[in-house]
């Protein structure tokens, strides 16, 4: 299935001479690498030229050792992103204590439920491996701890086993334990082979997590179907796939889908439940927000169950309207008419937001660097506020992400894949964007450079940013970052050197 | 429409309480397959019971919400305390992303560390090539004066040998032969972040001091903070030493690194203990560690290899600070200055002013062993009663020391020590034997929500309150800070409990 067509008109193109200049900058920046590393890195940096079918960078290969990548690991992709937000299951960080500890409540996947009773999203469950577990294996401990947790948390709907590095290395058979434990507690137990050393980033963890859903959860739908025991469905049933409900994003999206007359029967996986996941193959259309993390399961559902899927973008009114129309076009005229009504309904709200904030933001330049979707999807939201994107790149995007990115960016945009801290800092020093939109590890580096910053993984503890309601918050937040008077305090009145802000 | 007022844009804290979202949430339940509210309430009640507590404490394999992290986190906190030092974590790269995020969220400062980015091939063939390439890249890119290497559990499980790898990397010209690359093996399945701190300090000191032993001492005192996350404490120690005119070396001084000024220019390596000072620490008169369980191996090493006396002194509360100053005075022959005596007097004055609000207050606390001992010292001297003490990264020595401390005071008699236990155990303790106050890191906010026990945030990490780490908990000023946080939390709670008009507000007093 093709991605949605873009109705977007980017701001005026960069002067042509910017391209050779930016290419020269890239060359200069990577000069400091040892030869071998330089050869690797130069393939990941480029300048987008209009008309090209992708951004001209290599992606999804191993990071250069010692280069301070921002990437995480497969465990982070599976437990931290895909499985962790499923609220009524208990996700065991299986292995030593650290991985579960560092990923504990770090991602603001909002949910409604009674934590510790019927919801477990902001808790840390771990097998806390000690040396003896490494030596003798952790299978027995795992089986025991699953029975223990089921006794202490009887309302859990299931368990997932998120493998940390040692599990694969010592050869534990978590699949066998999962089968045995499922029998003992009478619930779904999912083994996930997401050891951190697998693959080159969290991206493989998303894929592994998707495969685990396919192999360990969907068989329940298949069984229910065989037994003629699937829930009632309607012609308007859809699932939200790949929205982790950061700051409530999935809710501010869901409300729009329901307003246009669709019935959202499952949310993957922010505020999601096992029941919603199991029942998803009954929907008529899968709506995919984070393509990078969940295209796999969407493709699987297309092949196995004949469910089409559509990638949509709910950042900024231009893309929200385009996406709502695209989504409605897959349904009948009633839905299409309602989509128009909804777009019209929110027009006043959107106009007020833009009227207030665009004058404060127009012409400001942005450098983006986020995970696997936002380096392209948030671009139109900036454009809606009159802001201009001068550089973007993914932590863990793949080639198809860079192809899709061309729809969103303009000629001359600097592209950096898996950018190292060194490169990012060097690019920013030269290009002097007005705002950096990236992650927590980058935030204070750039703020020390007197540059306004917003965290675009976590919305800097704000949000939601999705949907019309989210766009208002997005606009407000960009304004509060860019136009804070604190930036002007950084230079002392008695020193002559000027700072960037 | 939810955002109907552009001058009052509502984010998550208010947006979702509007009717349209409340209806949305209600409608979603149809698909969730959830339990009935009655069932949820029934189980919630059950988790508050003694029966549940017994089941909870009977678990043997499961850990829920532990108050400890893994070794490399401590190792890299130690490493950034040295001048222009880049921590290099040998293993799979996701760990470093987690460490950097964790520290950055707490300190709100940049934190640089690299990884050797080991993947499947390294799992099979070992990580030597990653080390050779990684050291060369980080040396060229980030221009450090020292690269401090530690491991993740992956490298430990496959048995990578750091010493051999580093020397092979040097032979391959990744870094110059003379360039310092100290190392520490920091398996995540042994000990915790405080063990990692200990291992790394020992690794760095043994590297830098090799061959530097002189006949005579340099007349200095070494200070080793331990896994210290209060920048204010390091500054306070330095101030005390300066006031006493003591010549000292603060080893692993990360106070500037973790609290650098915003000048409009980013510095990757602000401050830190000078490498030559660290190298000369072998010639000091003595070493004082401010934490015991985060410096155990380091002190053993200093005593046996350097032939240098080491002491543990926790300058927390009045007596803890007194002991530290007297120890420093005894070791150096320098008198304790009048100025500090006056500071002491002010702190004691503050404690006596507030004691009525603290006397007999029942306190639960959790955290790292040394932090907990310091807090207990303080609580006992103001007449508060530690009741539940949970330490996930405990050991027998610690429990013995803590027991002796509790036994030394009538206010310690009711305390129970829960070594190796976690915050889900603590939840049961708080429900079955309630206390007046809880002290611990930000994760305690979930206990506050569930049990309504007011929380004072002390420890690491503190993610959800700003700038507490800039204060001191050490010294006389630190005692005032602890007092301030604790007594004012109790008073806030009292106000909250006496706020209902014509019902509880008879006690809603202006003067406390």
**pLDDT single digits (tens) A448-468:** 999 999 999 999 999 999 999
At B366 the three-state DSSP class reads strand
A97 has a chain B CB within 8 A of its CB:
yes
Q: Which of A66, A346, A449 sits opposite B138 (nearest CB)?
A: A66
Beta bridge partners of A426: none
Cα distances from A263 to residues A257, A291, B224, in angstroms, run: 7, 21, 61
pLDDT computed for residue B388 by the predictor? 98
pLDDT at A6 over 80: no
Catalytic pick among B114, B153, B312, B487: B153
| Structure-model confidence comparison of residues A294 and B2, the more confident one | A294
Q: Which residues fall within 8 angstroms of residue A363, CB to CB, at 6 or more apart?
A: A386, A387, A388
Distance CA A280, CA B492 (A): 48
| pLDDT digit string, tens, across residues A77-94 | 999 999 999 999 999 999
pLDDT computed for residue A103 by the predictor? 97
pLDDT at A440 over 70: yes
Distance CA B320, CA B317 (A): 5
Q: Which of A96, A273, A352 sits opposite B153 (nearest CB)?
A: A96
DSSP B302: I
| pLDDT digit string, tens, across residues A302-351 | 999 999 999 999 999 999 999 999 999 999 999 999 999 999 999 999 99
Q: Which of A101, A116, A165 sits opposite B157 (nearest CB)?
A: A165
> Mean pLDDT over residues B417-429, rounded?
98
B130 has a chain A CB within 8 A of its CB:
yes
**A99 carries an active-site annotation:** no
Contact between chains at A104 and B65 (C-beta distance less than 8 A): yes
Distance CA B24, CA A76 (A): 30
Q: Contact at 8 Å (CB) between A198 and B185?
A: no
A43 has a chain B CB within 8 A of its CB:
no
Distance CA B487, CA B354 (A): 7
Percent of chain B with pLDDT over 70: 100
Measured between beta carbons, the chain A residues lying within 8 angstroms of B25 are 112, 251
Q: Give the residue from B4, B55, B62, B152 with the most A CB atoms within 10 Å of its CB, the best one to mutate.
A: B62
| pLDDT digit string, tens, across residues B315-343 | 999 999 999 999 999 999 999 999 999 99
Distance from CA of A197 to the nearest CA of B (A): 4
pLDDT computed for residue A111 by the predictor? 98
Distance from CA of B427 to the nearest CA of A (A): 10
Q: How many CB atoms lie within 10 A of CB B25?
A: 13
pLDDT computed for residue A498 by the predictor? 59
- Count each helix (H run) and each strand (E run) in chain A, helices first: 22, 14
DSSP A100-163: HHHTTT-S-B---S-BTTTB-TT--EE----HHHHHH-SHHHHHHHHHHHHHHSTT--EEEEEE
Distance CA B229, CA B194 (A): 12
**Peptide bond before residue A158 is cis, with ω within 30 degrees of 0:** no
Measured between beta carbons, the chain B residues lying within 8 angstroms of A267 are 28
Residues 427-486 (B) with a CB less than 8 A from some CB of A: 427, 443, 446, 449-450
Closest residue in B to A269 (Cα) is B32
Size of interface A-B (CB pairs under 8 A): 357
Distance CA B508, CA B512 (A): 10
DSSP B273: B
Q: Contact at 8 Å (CB) between A274 and A257?
A: no
Closest residue in B to A465 (Cα) is B11
B172 has a chain A CB within 8 A of its CB:
no
A122 has a chain B CB within 8 A of its CB:
yes
Cα distances from A356 to residues A188, A360, A470, A471, in angstroms, run: 50, 8, 15, 13
What are residue B397's phi and psi, to 5 degrees? Answer: -60, -45
A199 has a chain B CB within 8 A of its CB:
yes
pLDDT at B182 over 60: yes
What angle is formed at CA A239 by the lines to CA A234 and CA A244, rounded to 5 degrees?
A: 155
A476 has a chain B CB within 8 A of its CB:
yes
pLDDT computed for residue A18 by the predictor? 80
Measured between beta carbons, the chain A residues lying within 8 angstroms of B65 are 104, 123-124
| pLDDT digit string, tens, across residues A189-240 | 999 999 999 999 999 999 999 999 999 999 999 999 999 998 999 999 999 9
pLDDT at A10 over 50: no
Measured between beta carbons, the chain A residues lying within 8 angstroms of B66 are 97, 101, 124, 126, 128
| pLDDT digit string, tens, across residues B8-32 | 999 999 999 999 999 999 999 999 9
> Mean pLDDT over residues B223-237, rounded?
98
Percent of chain A with pLDDT over 90: 95
pTM over 0.95: yes
A441 has a chain B CB within 8 A of its CB:
yes
Measured between beta carbons, the chain A residues lying within 8 angstroms of B368 are none
**B153 carries an active-site annotation:** yes
B265 has a chain A CB within 8 A of its CB:
yes
pLDDT computed for residue B2 by the predictor? 87
Measured between beta carbons, the chain A residues lying within 8 angstroms of B33 are 88, 157, 273-276
Contact between chains at B116 and A247 (C-beta distance less than 8 A): no
Contact between chains at B102 and A141 (C-beta distance less than 8 A): no
Distance CA B27, CA A237 (A): 14
| pLDDT digit string, tens, across residues A61-71 | 999 999 999 99
Residue B171 in tokens: 């032979």
Contact between chains at A425 and B266 (C-beta distance less than 8 A): yes
**B157 carries an active-site annotation:** yes
**Burial label, B472 (beta-carbon count in 10 A; 0-12, 13-18, 19+):** buried
CA atoms within 13 A of residue B414's CA, in its CB half-sphere: 15
Measured between beta carbons, the chain A residues lying within 8 angstroms of B428 are none
Distance from CA of A50 to the nearest CA of B (A): 32
pLDDT computed for residue A496 by the predictor? 63
Size of chain A in residues: 501
B13 has a chain A CB within 8 A of its CB:
no
pLDDT at B1 over 80: no
pLDDT computed for residue A499 by the predictor? 58
Distance from CA of A53 to the nearest CA of B (A): 31
Q: Contact at 8 Å (CB) between B149 and B181?
A: yes
pLDDT at A17 over 70: no
Average pLDDT, chain B: 98
> Mean pLDDT over residues B277-294, rounded?
98
> Mean pLDDT over residues B75-83, rounded?
98
Q: How many CB atoms lie within 10 A of CB B349?
A: 11
pLDDT computed for residue A34 by the predictor? 97
Contact between chains at B62 and A149 (C-beta distance less than 8 A): yes
- Crossing angle, helix B19-32 and helix A249-259, to 10 degrees? 90
Contact between chains at A117 and B102 (C-beta distance less than 8 A): no
Q: Position of tokens 């450079």?
A: A449
B152 has a chain A CB within 8 A of its CB:
yes
């Amino acid at each position: 299935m093709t991605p949605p067509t873009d109705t977007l008109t980017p701001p005026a193109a960069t002067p042509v001479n910017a391209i050779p200049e930016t290419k020269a900058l890239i060359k200069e920046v990577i000069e400091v690498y040892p030869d071998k590393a330089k050869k690797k890195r130069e393939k990941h940096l480029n300048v987008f030229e209009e008309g090209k079918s992708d951004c001209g960078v290599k992606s999804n290969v191993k990071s250069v050792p010692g280069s301070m990548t921002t990437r995480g690991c497969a465990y982070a992709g599976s437990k931290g992103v895909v499985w962790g937000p499923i609220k009524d299951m208990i996700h065991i960080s299986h292995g030593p204590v650290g991985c579960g500890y560092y990923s504990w409540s770090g991602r603001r996947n909002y949910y409604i439920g009674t934590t510790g009773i019927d919801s477990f999203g902001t808790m840390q469950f771990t097998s806390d491996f000690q040396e003896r577990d490494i030596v003798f294996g952790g299978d027995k401990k795992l089986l025991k701890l699953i029975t223990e947790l089921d006794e202490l948390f009887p309302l859990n709907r299931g368990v997932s086993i998120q493998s940390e590095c040692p599990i694969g290395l010592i050869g534990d058979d978590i699949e066998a334990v999962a089968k045995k434990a499922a029998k003992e507690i009478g619930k779904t137990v999912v083994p996930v082979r997401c050891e951190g050393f697998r693959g080159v980033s969290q991206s493989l963890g998303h894929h592994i997590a998707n495969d685990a859903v396919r192999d360990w959860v969907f068989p329940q739908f298949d069984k229910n179907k065989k037994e003629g025991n699937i829930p009632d469905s309607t012609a308007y049933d859809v699932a939200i796939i790949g929205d982790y409900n950061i700051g409530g994003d999935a809710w501010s999206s869901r409300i729009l889908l329901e307003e246009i007359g669709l019935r959202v029967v499952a949310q993957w996986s922010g505020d999601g439940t096992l029941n919603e996941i199991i029942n998803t193959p009954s929907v008529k259309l899968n709506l995919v927000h984070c393509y990078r993390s969940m295209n796999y399961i969407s493709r699987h559902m297309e092949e196995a169950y004949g469910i089409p899927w559509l990638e949509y973008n709910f950042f900024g009114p231009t893309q929200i309207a385009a996406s709502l129309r695209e989504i409605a076009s897959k349904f009948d005229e009633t839905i299409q008419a309602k989509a128009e009504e909804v777009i019209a309904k929110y027009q006043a709200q959107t106009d007020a937001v833009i009227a207030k904030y665009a004058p404060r933001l127009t012409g400001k330049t942005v450098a983006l660097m986020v995970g696997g979707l936002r380096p392209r999807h948030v671009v139109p939201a900036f454009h809606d506020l009159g802001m201009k994107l001068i550089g973007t790149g993914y932590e863990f995007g793949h080639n198809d992400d860079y192809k899709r990115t061309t729809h969103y960016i303009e000629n001359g945009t600097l592209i950096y894949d898996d950018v190292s801290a060194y490169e990012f800092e060097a690019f920013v020093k030269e290009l002097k964007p007005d705002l950096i939109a990236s992650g927590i590890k980058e935030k204070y580096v750039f703020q020390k450079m007197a540059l306004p910053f917003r965290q675009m993984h976590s919305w800097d503890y704000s949000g939601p940013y999705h949907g019309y309601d989210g766009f208002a918050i997005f606009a407000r937040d960009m304004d509060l970052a860019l136009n804070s008077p604190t930036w002007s305090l950084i230079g002392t009145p008695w020193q002559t050197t000027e700072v960037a802000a | 429409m939810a955002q109907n007022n552009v001058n009052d844009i509502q984010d998550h804290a208010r947006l979702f309480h509007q009717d349209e979202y409340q209806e949305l949430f209600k409608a979603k339940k149809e698909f969730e397959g959830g339990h009935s509210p009655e069932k949820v309430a029934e189980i919630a009640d059950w988790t508050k019971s003694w029966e549940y507590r017994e089941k909870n404490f009977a678990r043997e394999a499961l850990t829920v919400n532990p108050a400890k992290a893994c070794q490399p986190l401590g190792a890299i906190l130690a490493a950034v305390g040295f001048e222009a030092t880049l921590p290099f974590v040998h293993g799979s790269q996701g760990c470093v992303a987690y460490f950097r995020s964790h520290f950055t969220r707490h300190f709100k400062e940049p934190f640089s560390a690299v990884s050797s980015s080991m993947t499947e091939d390294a799992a099979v063939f070992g990580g030597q090539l990653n080390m050779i390439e990684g050291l060369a890249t980080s040396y060229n890119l980030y221009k450090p004066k020292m690269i401090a290497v530690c491991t993740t559990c992956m490298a430990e499980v496959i048995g990578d040998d750091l010493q051999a790898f580093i020397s092979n990397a040097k032979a391959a010209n990744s870094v110059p032969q003379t360039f310092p690359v100290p190392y520490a093996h920091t398996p995540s399945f042994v000990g915790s972040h405080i063990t990692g701190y200990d291992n790394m300090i020992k690794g760095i000191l043994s590297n830098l001091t090799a061959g530097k032993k002189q006949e005579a001492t340099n007349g200095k005192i070494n200070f080793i903070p331990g896994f210290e996350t209060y920048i204010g404490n390091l500054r306070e120690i330095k101030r005390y030493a300066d006031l006493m005119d003591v010549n000292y070396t603060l080893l692993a001084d990360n106070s500037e690194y973790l609290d650098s000024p915003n000048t409009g220019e980013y510095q990757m390596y602000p401050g830190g203990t000078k490498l030559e000072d660290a190298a000369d620490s072998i010639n000091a008169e003595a070493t004082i560690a401010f934490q015991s369980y985060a410096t155990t191996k380091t002190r053993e090493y200093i005593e046996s290899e350097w032939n240098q006396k080491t002491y543990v002194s926790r300058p927390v509360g009045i007596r803890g600070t007194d002991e530290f100053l007297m120890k420093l005075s005894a070791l150096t022959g320098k008198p304790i200055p009048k100025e500090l005596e006056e500071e002491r007097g002010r702190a004691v004055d503050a404690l006596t002013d507030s004691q009525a609000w603290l006397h007999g207050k029942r306190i639960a606390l959790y955290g790292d062993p040394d932090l907990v001992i310091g807090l207990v010292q303080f609580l006992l001297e103001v007449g508060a009663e530690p009741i539940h003490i949970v330490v996930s990264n405990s050991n027998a020595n610690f429990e013995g020391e803590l027991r002796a401390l509790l036994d030394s005071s009538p206010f310690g008699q009711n305390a129970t020590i829960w070594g190796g236990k976690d915050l889900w155990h603590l939840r049961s303790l708080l429900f079955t034997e309630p206390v007046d106050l809880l002290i611990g890191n930000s994760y305690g906010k979930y206990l506050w929500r569930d049990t309504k026990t007011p929380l004072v945030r002390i420890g690491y990490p503190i993610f959800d309150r700003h700038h507490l780490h800039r204060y001191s908990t050490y010294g006389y000023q630190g005692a005032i800070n602890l007092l301030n946080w604790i007594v004012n939390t109790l008073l806030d709670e009292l106000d909250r409990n006496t706020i209902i008009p014509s019902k509880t507000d008879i006690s809603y007093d202006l003067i406390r």
